[in-house]
Amino acid sequence: MLIAVIVALAVGTYAFRLAGVVLHDRFDLPAPLRRMLPLAAAALLAALAGTAALTESGAFAGVSRPLGVAVGAVLAWRRPSLLVRSAARSIAAMAGRSGRPVGEAGAGGGAPFVVVVISAAATAALLRLAGVP
């Protein structure tokens, strides 16, 4: 049964992709709709991220997971503090990493992906360790 579902989803996905290639020139979408289509992918990803951050097995996941996700989002959005950059440089120096220091992001960017993920996971883990659901 599971294999049949996987095959059906694979065939459906392939059919959707093929339909886009085959029917591309037959439909003329209005300009406002063409401008909004890229936003649909971002909205879908945001909905999936929100669902994953707030629920577990169909119920509210508790406070610690959303707070961990919030910490990760802030670190990804804003440049990390001097303390975070210093700690990341120290870890990179101990690991013998060459090149751009771990705490240095590109112009206007936030923290590196590894720092964001570890900080979010550590926040959620520490809150759960402290007894926060």
Helix (H, G, I), strand (E, B) or coil at 41: helix
User: Domain total for the chain?
Assistant: 2
Chosen domain end from 10, 27, 55: 55
CA atoms of 98 and 65, how far apart (whole Å): 33
Residues 72 and 124 in one domain: yes
66 near 124, Cβ under 8 Å? no
Structural domain span for residue 28: 1-55
Give the model's pLDDT for residue 28. Answer: 85
Give the model's pLDDT for residue 86. Answer: 67
Give the model's pLDDT for residue 106. Answer: 47
pTM: 0.54
Give the model's pLDDT for residue 100. Answer: 53
What Cα–Cα distance (Å) separates residue 31 from each residue in 19, 25, 55, 101?
21, 15, 37, 44
Q: What average pLDDT is seen over the chain?
A: 82
More confident residue, 109 or 64: 64
More confident residue, 99 or 132: 132
Residues 77 and 24 in one domain: no
More confident residue, 96 or 19: 19
Task: Give the pLDDT band (50/70/90) at residue 58.
Answer: confident
More confident residue, 87 or 28: 28
Residues 79 and 118 in one domain: yes
More confident residue, 70 or 88: 70
